[in-house]
Amino acid sequence: MKQSNALVEKIFAAADAMNDEMVTRRRDLHKYAEPGWTEFRTAAMVAGELTKLGYAVEAGAAVVKKEAMMGVPSDERLAKEMERAVSEGADPQWVEKMAGGLTGVVGTMKCAGDGPVVALRFDMDALDLMETTDAGHEPLEKGFASVHDWGMHACGHDGHTTIGLAVAKILAELKEELKGTVKMIFQPAEEGVRGAYAMVEAGVVDDADYLLGAHIGMKLPRTGAIAARIYGMLATTKFDANFTGVPAHAGMAPEQGKNALLAAACAALNLHAISRHSGGTSRINVGKLIAGSGRNVIGDKALLQLETRGISTEVNEYVASEAQRIIKAAADMYGVTVDISRAGGAAGAENSPALADALTEHARELGIFSEIVEEPVDFGGSEDCSYFMQRVQNNGGQAAYLNIGAKLAAGHHDAHFTFDEAVLGLSVKVIATSAAGLLNGEIKA
Amino acid sequence: MKQSNALVEKIFAAADAMNDEMVTRRRDLHKYAEPGWTEFRTAAMVAGELTKLGYAVEAGAAVVKKEAMMGVPSDERLAKEMERAVSEGADPQWVEKMAGGLTGVVGTMKCAGDGPVVALRFDMDALDLMETTDAGHEPLEKGFASVHDWGMHACGHDGHTTIGLAVAKILAELKEELKGTVKMIFQPAEEGVRGAYAMVEAGVVDDADYLLGAHIGMKLPRTGAIAARIYGMLATTKFDANFTGVPAHAGMAPEQGKNALLAAACAALNLHAISRHSGGTSRINVGKLIAGSGRNVIGDKALLQLETRGISTEVNEYVASEAQRIIKAAADMYGVTVDISRAGGAAGAENSPALADALTEHARELGIFSEIVEEPVDFGGSEDCSYFMQRVQNNGGQAAYLNIGAKLAAGHHDAHFTFDEAVLGLSVKVIATSAAGLLNGEIKA
Amino acid sequence: MKQSNALVEKIFAAADAMNDEMVTRRRDLHKYAEPGWTEFRTAAMVAGELTKLGYAVEAGAAVVKKEAMMGVPSDERLAKEMERAVSEGADPQWVEKMAGGLTGVVGTMKCAGDGPVVALRFDMDALDLMETTDAGHEPLEKGFASVHDWGMHACGHDGHTTIGLAVAKILAELKEELKGTVKMIFQPAEEGVRGAYAMVEAGVVDDADYLLGAHIGMKLPRTGAIAARIYGMLATTKFDANFTGVPAHAGMAPEQGKNALLAAACAALNLHAISRHSGGTSRINVGKLIAGSGRNVIGDKALLQLETRGISTEVNEYVASEAQRIIKAAADMYGVTVDISRAGGAAGAENSPALADALTEHARELGIFSEIVEEPVDFGGSEDCSYFMQRVQNNGGQAAYLNIGAKLAAGHHDAHFTFDEAVLGLSVKVIATSAAGLLNGEIKA
Amino acid sequence: MKQSNALVEKIFAAADAMNDEMVTRRRDLHKYAEPGWTEFRTAAMVAGELTKLGYAVEAGAAVVKKEAMMGVPSDERLAKEMERAVSEGADPQWVEKMAGGLTGVVGTMKCAGDGPVVALRFDMDALDLMETTDAGHEPLEKGFASVHDWGMHACGHDGHTTIGLAVAKILAELKEELKGTVKMIFQPAEEGVRGAYAMVEAGVVDDADYLLGAHIGMKLPRTGAIAARIYGMLATTKFDANFTGVPAHAGMAPEQGKNALLAAACAALNLHAISRHSGGTSRINVGKLIAGSGRNVIGDKALLQLETRGISTEVNEYVASEAQRIIKAAADMYGVTVDISRAGGAAGAENSPALADALTEHARELGIFSEIVEEPVDFGGSEDCSYFMQRVQNNGGQAAYLNIGAKLAAGHHDAHFTFDEAVLGLSVKVIATSAAGLLNGEIKA
C-alpha cells in the first residue's frame, strides 16, 4: 500500500526548508571533529537539541553499558577531551553525564497513536586522522576544516549526525500525524566498531520493531543513487595482544631472556594460517606488530593488533576463537605471558528481506532518486550497526541499512574526503518518510 | 709409583695367548649382530662365559631397571628376537631372564685382598643397519658378515664385548694377585644412548670407586694410538613426539580438522629457535618429521624425532626443557594433543683429571702404544657411558673413558665399517693392566 | 519443445534389455580394478567394444597428450601393469598403443544427418585402495571383489564405464535416427584429477558443441534422484615438492648441513598463511610432509604433498602461484634446492545455465526419477571433467555435469563402497535420451 | 728486562700533576655528551689539543673512510649537530673538516730515535640516553650532568678521551727520551660498534707494531684492579632490514596486499633457527621488529634490527651470511622487497699472548694496582677496538686491550652510571708507561 502523499509532501517541504541549517550544522561538526568516545561536544549538542524538540533524552550510563565499551581511550585523555569540549562550547551538564566516554544519546518520542517502535541509528564519531591542508580541499577553502589536528570527519558521520537531528525535528513536528514510538539513537565510536555493542547491551533497541541505519557515499559515490538490499556485513572482532617476557643481554646470557618478540612473530604467522571455513568468507589480519627494544636485548615486550572477520557471526567466532588459542599458545611457546583484549567488534548482518524490498519500492516511489539499485549489494566490510540489526532481528523485528549515494572528493578515510552536501536533504527525505511509513503502517514489511 | 712389571708381563702373555680366541669370538659376534635391547644371544653368551670364569653373574631385572629403559622395541619384536637368539644357539635359561629386552649382564669377582671396587663397562649392541655386500669388504670375504640384514656391528661393539670377556678371563686368572673387587658390566643399547641409564638406575655402579670405559677407533683411526684425556662428552636427550589431531576433508570442511601436520612443522621451526646458552655448547635437531596422509586431508598424525645436547647436563637440561614446552605449545596452537616420550639420553661428562693423567702415564709406561695423545681430546658427541661416569664421580669416585686407536675400513656407522683386529690385544693389555693397577693401588689417581 | 516419444521409448527398451549385460560388465570391471594411468585392461576392452559398435576409435597418443599427463606412475610400474593387463585378457594390440600409460579412448560416430557434435565423457580408473574383506560386503559375497589388493573401484567409475558403453551401443543402434556427431570419451586417471587435462590438451573436445559428464551417487545417495544444476566445482592444483639439502652430523658439525626438513616445515606454515581471496572460496592444504632420516642428522630430504583450490580458475591460480613462490623461498631460506611438480589439477566449473535448465526439465519429463533437484547444487569438491567443460564453454559450446542418485553401501573412497546397480539403467536412459535430444535439436539450450 | 725507573717516575709525577686538569676535562666532556658520529665538539677539542702538543694531526676523511662508516645519522641531524657543537665552543675549522660525521682524529709524533710504531686507541662517543635526574647522582650534584637530554656518557668514554689526551701530553713532554713513533687515535661511534671499521679501512694502523686499547670499569668494578689477559671479544655484525610490500584492505581485498609484516615475522623466527656452529659460540638476536600500520590493512612496511655474533670472525661470518640469505628469502616468500644495511660490526679478537703476559707483568711491577688479574678474562661481548687489533695482528704486530678497574655508581649503559675518577690517574700511568716501554724496547713481547 502506498504512503499518504500529503505526509510525504510535508516532510519534503520541511527538509527543503532546513537545508541551510543542515549545511551550517554539518560544517560546525566537521570543524570540531571528535574521534570515538570523545564526542563530548557533538553528543552534548545532540542531547540539547533533542531535548528542545521534546524528546525524552537519555545519555551516558543509561544508554551505554560501561563494561561493554571497547577500545576506550585512557582516563587522562578522556578528562582532557571533556575540558576541551566545554571550552568549545559544549554544555557542561551533558558533558558531565558522559564522563568516562559514555557519549551515546537516545531521544524517545511517543506519537499520537498506537504503533510500532521505530528506532533510527546515527553515528557521530570522527577518525584519528589529520585533515589535508592541500589547496582546493573544500572544507579548507570554506573555512570549516577540522581545528583538531588529531581528528577529522573523513567518513561522513558529521553528515549522519546532521541528518539524524533534521529527521528528529521533522518527526517531532509531525508527531500528531504519527503512531507508535520514535527512538533517535546517536552512537559514539563506530570507527573501529567499538561503540554499538555497548549501546545494544544497555538495551536501547530491545523494544524496537524496526531499526534503520544508513551511510552516505558508501559503495555509491553518486548523488541520487540509493540501495536498500544490503547483505554481507562481515562479523568482526578486533584484538590487541600484549606479550610480556623477560629482557636479557643477547650476547652475554640469551638463555635468561623470555622472548616476547618471537612469541609475537610466531603468533602472527600462525594466525594467518588459521583454516578457511566451509561456512563462507573469513578473514584474519595482523595489522600491526611492535616488539623489542635494543638490538642486543632479548625483546621482552610485544604488541599485536589484529582483526578477524566472517560472513556470519558463527564464522567470525570460529576465527576469533582460533586466534585467541593461537596467541596464548605462542606465548606459552616462548614462556612469556600475554594479555588479550577486545578492541572492537561487529556482528554479521544483512537487511531483513521484506523490509529491504519495501524500502527499495518506497525509495522508487518517492521519485527523488535517479538510481535505485535493485541488485543485492555485498557490503563487504564491517559496520557495528550490525549489532543493532542483529538484536532487533533476533527479537523478531526487522532491520535495514541504507546506502545513500553521494559524490565524494576522495574515498572514505582519506584525508581529502568530503561529500556533496546535496545528500543531506535526500537522506532526510528518505529516512523521515520511511520512518513515518513504518510508524503508520503504510510501509508493509 | 710404577706398576709391578711381573704382573704386567703376565697380563701381556695371557692376552697374546688369547689372540686367536678373540678373533674368533669377535667374528662370531659380528656375524650375529644384535641391535639394542635384542642382544639376547650376545648377552646370554657373556653371562655363560662369566659364570664359567667364576664371576657372580646377574642379568635381567637385577641389573636393568625396567622403568628407566628408553627406546625399547615392541613386545612382539622382542618375543621374536628371543626365539631367534635361541635358534642361533643362545642358552634359553639366560634368554628367559632377559625377557622384555633386559639384556644387561654384570659379573662380580672378589679378589684376594681388600681394595677398591673397579668397574669396567663394555657395550654389546649393533646398529639397525644392513651390512654392505660390496666386494672387498673383509667380513664378507672372510665369511663373518652379519647374517641379519637388519643389524650390523658398524661401531665396534663386537670388539668391545670380545675385549671385555678377555679382560674378565685374565683378571680371573690373576685373582689371587689382586685386591678389591672387579665388576664386569656388559651394557645393551648404547646406540641411541638408550641403555646405560637403566643399568645406572639399577645401582650397578653405586659401589664403584673407579669406572673405566673405552671405545676403539673413535677419533683415532690409527692402530697404536691412545688417548685418556677425554672431555666434552655432550649431555643429550632424545625425544619422540607424537601429535594427534582430527582429520577432515581439506576442501569440504577444513575448519573441522585439527592439524597435527602444522603443529609438528611449527614445533620444528621453533625448536630450532631455542636460544643459545651462555654456559657453552648446545645443540637441537629435529631429525625426522613424518606427518599427514592424503593430499586432500587435514593431517591428523605427526611424528617428530629430535635430540638436544649440551656441554653439561645443565645446558642440555635447559634445551630439553625448552623443547618440551615448545612441543606442547605447538600442539595447543593447533588444538591437537601430543605425547612426548624419552627415546634416549646421556649425561655430560669428562674424565676425572687425576685418573686421566695417571692412565696417560700408565699407557706410556706400557711401551706398547706408538702414539700417546697428551692434549685433551674433545669428544664432541654423546656416549651413554657418561651416565656411569657421572654416577661414580658424583659418589666421590673417579671415572675415565679411553679412546683406543684402530685402523678402520670406513667411518663408524658406515655399512663398510670394520676395524684392524690388532686393536683387540692392545685394548685388553691396557684395560687389564689399568684395572689391576687400580685394584692394587699401583696406579694412583 | 518436447522430445519425440518414440525415440525415448526405443532407448528405454534398449536399456532395459541390456540390464544383465551391464551388471556383468560392471562386476568384471570391479573385479579387475585399475588405478589411474594403468587402466590397460579396461581401456583395451572399451576400445574393442567401440570398434565393434562401428565407432572410429582412437587411443593412446592421439587422444592423450603425453606432456600434459600428471601424476604418472614410474615406467617400471607401467610396464608391469601392461603385462598384467594382457595376462588378464586385454587385447595386446590396444595395450601396446597405450604404452606409457596413455590409456584414454575416444570413439566417434557420424550420424545420419547434419547436427551438432555431442561429446559424452566417462572416467574409468579405480583408487589405490584395498577393498574390504569384511563379511557382508556385496562384491565379496557375489564374487566380484577386486583381485588387485592395490586397487578398488570405490568411486563408481566401474559403473561409469559400463554406462558409457551401453549408451554407445544404444546410440549406434539408433544412428539412422540421429543427426550430427557423437563422441564417446573414456578418460583415465580422474582420481587425483590427473587425466582430463591431457585429453583436453590433445584436442578431443575442440569440436564439441555439447559436453555431458555424470557421477553416480555423488551428493545424492538415493536411487531415483537426479540433479542437473551443478555449480561450485572447485579449480584445483596438486603439487609435490621435493627438497634436497645436505646431511650433517647434528652434534659435530650442524653448520655443515643444509636443512631440508626445516625448509619443508617453514614452507608448510607459510603455505597455510596464503591470504584469502576476495574473489571467493580458496583452499590450501599440505596433506603430507615426510622429512629427515636419523635423529642426529640434519635432514637433507623432504617431501611435501599439497593442493590448492579456488572457486574459479583465477582464484586457484592465485593460490597456486603464491604456493610455488613460497616453496621456492622456503628452499632459499635454508639454502636447499627444491623440485616442484604438478601432480594433478582441475578447472573451476559450473553447468551452463541454459543446458542445466533444459536437462532438469528433460529429466522431469522422462518420468523415471522420483526426485528432481531444482535448487542449484554446490559441488564443493573438484572433478577434472571441469577441464572438458571449460574448454567447450570457452569455445562457445555448453556443458553440464549430472549427479545421478544411487543408494550406496558406504561413502565414496571408503573400502566398503558399492552402489545400487539399478542406477545403471536410469543413467543410461537419461544420458542416451539427453544426447539424442541434443543431437536432434529437440532439447534446446 | 725491567723498564727504566726514572722514566716511570717522571710519568707518574706528570700524571699526578695533571689530576685536576683531568677531572675538569672529564666533567666538561660528560656535560657535553655527544653520541656516535656527532662528536664534533669533543673531536675538535682533541684535534686542537694534540696540535698544541706538537702532534701532526689529521681528522675527517684522512682518517675515516666514508664508505666504511656504519649507522650514520641523517644529513639533517649531522648538520644540526655541527651547528650545535660550534655553539658550544667547538673550533669551526676542525668541525668543518669533520662534516658528514667524520669525527675521527689521529695525532702522530716521531720520537727521538728509531723504534716501533705504537698506536693507542681511545673512544669518544656517548650513548643515546637521557641521564638520570635522580637525587644523589654525582654528575647532577656536582653540576656536570649532560646538558643534552638525548646523550649521556654512561660508558666512560668521557674518561677514555681524557686519559688519551693526558697520555698524549706526557709522551710529548718525554719525546726526547723515547724512540719510534706514537700514534694517538681518537675514535668516534664505538657504541653500536660503528666507528672503528672506517678508521681501520682508512689505514690508520697499517704501520703500527703495537696497538693498545683500554676500557675503564669493564668486568672489574673495583678501582685498583687491572687485567691484561683478555680474550673472547665476539665478532659481531649489526643489520637493519627494511621490508616494503603493498598495503591493501584486509577485509575487502587481502590478496592485493604484499605482506611485509609477515615477511618480517617469518624472518625473525627463521633467523633464530640459524644452526649452531661447531667452531664455537655464536649468537643471533632480532632485538626490534616494527611492522604494519592499521589493524585492517595488510602491513606494507616492516623493520627488523638484528645482530649476529661469533667467537671468531669466521663463526660470525657464517651467522651473518645465513642471516642475509634468510632475510632475502623471507621477503621473497611474501613477494616483498627488502633492503639490508650494515649498522655496525666488530671483529673477533683476543690479546696477543706475549703482549698480554708482558703487560700483566708490567702492571705488577708498577706497584700501583691492588689487584692484578692473572686468569684469562673472557670479554664475552663485542668492542670494535677488535678491528684495530685484528689489523695489527694480521700485519704481524701485537695488540692488547686492558680492563682497568673502577668503582661504578651503576652498570655501564645505565642512566645512573658514573665512575670513580681515581681511575683516570691509574689509567694514564699504566698506559703511558706501557707505551714508553714498548717504544723503548724495555717491554718485550
At C427, which CATH number? 3.40.630.10
End-to-end CA distance of chain A: 11
Are residues B211 and B170 part of one domain? yes
pLDDT digits (tens, 9 = 90+) for D71-84: 999 999 999 999 99
Share of chain A above pLDDT 90, in %: 96
pLDDT of the residue at D3: 67
Are residues B279 and B184 part of one domain? no
The subunits that touch chain C, with at least 3 C-beta pairs less than 8 Å apart, are A, B, D
pLDDT of the residue at A445: 85
Q: How far apart are CA A138 and CA A292, in angstroms?
A: 43
Q: How far apart are CA A149 and CA A132, in angstroms?
A: 10
CB-based contact B421:B156 (threshold 8 Å): no
Question: Which of D275, D326, D332 to probe by mutation at the C interface, max C CB count within 10 Å?
Answer: D275
Residue D259 with chain A: CB contacts under 8 Å:
272
pLDDT band at B146 (very low <50, low <70, confident <90, very high): very high
Is there a domain that residue C162 lies in?
Answer: yes
pLDDT band at A165 (very low <50, low <70, confident <90, very high): very high
Are residues B369 and B334 part of one domain? no
CB-based contact A243:A263 (threshold 8 Å): yes
For residue B171, what is its C-alpha cell? 683378571
| D361 Cβ contact partners less than 8 Å away, ≥ 6 residues apart | none
CB-based contact C105:C99 (threshold 8 Å): no
- ipTM associated with this complex: 0.86
pLDDT of the residue at C445: 85
Minimum-distance CB partner of D275 among C257, C266, C273 = C257
For residue D22, what is its C-alpha cell? 683531568
Residue D259 with chain C: CB contacts under 8 Å:
275
Q: How far apart are CA D392 and CA D351, in angstroms?
A: 11
Res. B3: pLDDT tops 80: no
H-type helices in A222-352, by residue range?
260-272, 313-333
Are residues C300 and C270 part of one domain? yes
Residue-wise DSSP of A36-56: TT--HHHHHHHHHHHHHTT-E
Are residues B150 and B45 part of one domain? yes
CB-based contact B302:B289 (threshold 8 Å): yes
CB contact under 8 A, A275 and C275: no
- Measured in residues, chain C has a length of 445
Is there a domain that residue C225 lies in?
Answer: no
Nearest to A277 by CA among A306, A314, A307: A314
* Mean pLDDT for all residues in chain A: 96
Determine contact: C294 vs chain D, CB below 8 A: no
Res. A210: pLDDT tops 70: yes
Res. B2: pLDDT tops 60: no
Res. B217: pLDDT tops 80: yes
Q: How far apart are CA C32 and CA C34, in angstroms?
A: 6
Share of chain A above pLDDT 70, in %: 99
Q: Which domain holds residue A256?
A: 235-346
CA of D265 vs chain A CAs: smallest distance (Å): 4
Are residues D123 and D43 part of one domain? yes
Are residues A415 and A341 part of one domain? no
Provide mean pLDDT across the span A419-435.
98
pLDDT of the residue at B1: 41
Question: What is the full per-residue pLDDT of chain D (445 aa) written as tens digits?
Answer: 456 789 999 999 999 999 999 999 999 999 999 999 999 999 999 999 999 999 999 999 999 999 999 999 999 999 999 999 999 999 999 999 999 999 999 999 999 999 999 999 999 999 999 999 999 999 999 999 999 999 999 999 999 999 999 999 999 999 999 999 999 999 999 999 999 999 999 999 999 999 999 999 999 999 999 999 999 999 999 999 999 999 998 988 999 999 999 999 999 999 999 999 999 999 999 999 999 998 999 999 999 999 999 999 999 999 999 999 999 999 999 999 999 999 999 999 999 999 999 999 999 999 999 999 999 999 988 999 999 999 999 999 999 999 999 999 999 999 999 999 999 999 999 999 999 999 999 998 8
For residue D251, what is its C-alpha cell? 577485509
CATH of the domain at B290: 3.30.70.360
Q: 3-class DSSP state for residue C347?
A: coil
Listed in order, strand segments (DSSP E) in D177-224 are 179-187, 210-216
Nearest to B110 by CA among B183, B187, B3: B183
Res. C85: pLDDT tops 70: yes
Among the candidates A346, A370, A387, a domain finishes at A346
Number of domains comprising chain A: 2
CB contact under 8 A, B252 and A318: no
Is there a domain that residue A75 lies in?
Answer: yes
Are residues A72 and A178 part of one domain? yes
pLDDT digits (tens, 9 = 90+) for C319-353: 999 999 999 999 999 999 999 999 999 999 999 99
pLDDT of the residue at D445: 85
Among the candidates D296, D311, D346, a domain finishes at D346
Determine contact: C252 vs chain B, CB below 8 A: yes
Q: Which residue of C has its CA nearest to B233?
A: C251
Q: Which residue of B has its CA nearest to D283?
A: B276
* Mean pLDDT for all residues in chain C: 96
* Residue A125 bridge partners (DSSP): none
Is there a domain that residue A157 lies in?
Answer: yes
Is there a domain that residue B165 lies in?
Answer: yes
pLDDT of the residue at C2: 57
CA of B253 vs chain A CAs: smallest distance (Å): 5
| Torsion angle (degrees, nearest 10) of CA D212, D218, D221, D226 | -30
CB contact under 8 A, B273 and D276: no
Single-letter code of the amino acid located at C314: E
The subunits that touch chain B, with at least 3 C-beta pairs less than 8 Å apart, are A, C, D
Minimum-distance CB partner of B276 among D270, D283, D380 = D283
Determine contact: D330 vs chain C, CB below 8 A: yes
pLDDT of the residue at A290: 98
Are residues C240 and C210 part of one domain? no
Determine contact: B283 vs chain D, CB below 8 A: yes
Residue A234 with chain D: CB contacts under 8 Å:
251
pLDDT of the residue at C252: 84
Are residues A289 and A426 part of one domain? no
Q: Which residue of B has its CA nearest to D278?
A: B281
Residues D125-162 as b or e (16 or more Cβ within 10 Å = b): bbbebebbeeeebebbeeebbbebeebbbbbbbbbbbb
pLDDT digits (tens, 9 = 90+) for B4-55: 789 999 999 999 999 999 999 999 999 999 999 999 999 999 999 999 999 9
Is there a domain that residue B134 lies in?
Answer: yes
Minimum-distance CB partner of B266 among A270, A298, A332 = A270
pLDDT of the residue at D1: 41
Among the candidates A325, A346, A367, a domain finishes at A346
Q: 3-class DSSP state for residue B18?
A: coil
Nearest to D306 by CA among D393, D373, D239, D392: D239
Q: How far apart are CA B297 and CA C288, in angstroms?
A: 9
Is there a domain that residue A445 lies in?
Answer: no
pLDDT of the residue at C407: 97
B/D interface, count of CB pairs below 8 Å: 24
Q: Which residue of B has its CA nearest to A252?
A: B278
CA of B285 vs chain D CAs: smallest distance (Å): 9
CB-based contact B272:D273 (threshold 8 Å): yes
Cα radius of gyration rounded to whole Å, chain B: 23
* Residue D307 bridge partners (DSSP): D238, D285
Are residues A244 and A227 part of one domain? no
CB contact under 8 A, B285 and C297: yes
Are residues C393 and C249 part of one domain? no
| A203 Cβ contact partners less than 8 Å away, ≥ 6 residues apart | none
Q: How far apart are CA B419 and CA B431, in angstroms?
A: 18
CA of C264 vs chain B CAs: smallest distance (Å): 8
Residue A245 with chain D: CB contacts under 8 Å:
none
Provide mean pLDDT across the span A115-120.
98
For residue D224, what is its C-alpha cell? 685498583
Provide mean pLDDT across the span B388-404.
97
CB-based contact A228:A402 (threshold 8 Å): yes
* pTM value > 0.80: yes
Single-letter code of the amino acid located at D445: A
pLDDT of the residue at A362: 97
Is there a domain that residue A444 lies in?
Answer: no
